Amino acid sequence: MGHKVTVYEKQTKLGGMMRYGIPSYRFPREKLDAEINSILSLGIEVHTGVKVGQDVTFDQLRKEHDCLYISIGAHPDKKTGIEGGDSEGVISAVEMLRRIGDEEMPDFTGQNAAVIGGNVAMDVPHSAIRLGAAKVTCVYRRRQEDMTAQQEEVEGTIAEGEVLTL
Q: What is the pLDDT of residues 20-72, one digit of tens each?
A: 888 888 889 999 999 999 999 999 999 999 999 999 999 999 999 999 988 87
CA gap 30, 28 in Å, rounded: 5
User: Which is more confident, 146 or 48?
Assistant: 48
CA distances from 161 to 20, 26, 84, 128, 139 (A): 24, 17, 27, 11, 15
Per-residue confidence (pLDDT) for residue 166, from 0 to 100? 56
Q: What is the pLDDT of residues 11-20, one digit of tens each?
A: 999 998 888 8
CA angle, 122 as apex, 118 and 127 as ends, to 5°? 150
Query: Cβ distance 9 to 49 under 8 Å?
Result: yes
CA distances from 32 to 10, 15, 123, 132 (A): 18, 7, 18, 25
Q: What are the phi and psi torsion angles at 139 (to 5°)?
A: -120, 130
- β-sheet bridge partners, residue 68: none
CA gap 80, 116 in Å, rounded: 8
Residue type, 13: K
pTM: 0.69
